[in-house]
Amino acid sequence: MELVGTNLDVIKTTYKKFIRGDIAGLMEHYLDDVVFHYIGTPLMPLTGNYEGKAGVLRFFQMIPEHLELFLFEPREFYDAGDTIIILGREGARSQKTGKSYEGHFIHIAQLENGKLKRLRLFPDTAGGTSIFSE
């Protein structure tokens, strides 16, 4: 596991690992009872709650099943101690329809003892919904 300092360092490290595709390395930075909340619409296949490392791993496995993620840029990080807010841009193409979009995202990460406890993911729901509708 990479040595990291502050909670902000932990989050920046996890985003770098995600961009590199190092999902196993990511999992080292999560608590066993980590929870992801993907706040989307019913048409967006990733919408839902993912509990524990197994659930979060399933979330990451579902991404390429449904999306070709061609843009993922965390651009701004706001440090509020145990909570880190991340603003960025994303672009994806639906594996089902071939449609694509580019938009913004907001992520809110909560950490405990230097590890990720909860991540709330707010994608561009208008863009995300549009690429999955027929």
Ordered by where they begin, the domains of the chain are: 7-132 (3.10.450.50)
Q: Tell me whether strands 115-122 and 30-38 are parallel, antiparallel or unpaired.
A: parallel
The answer to whether 66 and 32 have CB atoms below 8 angstroms apart is no
Torsion sign, CA atoms 89, 5, 109, 43: positive
Amino acid occupying residue 122: F
Write the pLDDT tens digit of every residue in 78-133.
999 999 999 999 999 999 999 999 999 999 999 999 999 999 999 999 999 999 98
Global pTM value: 0.93
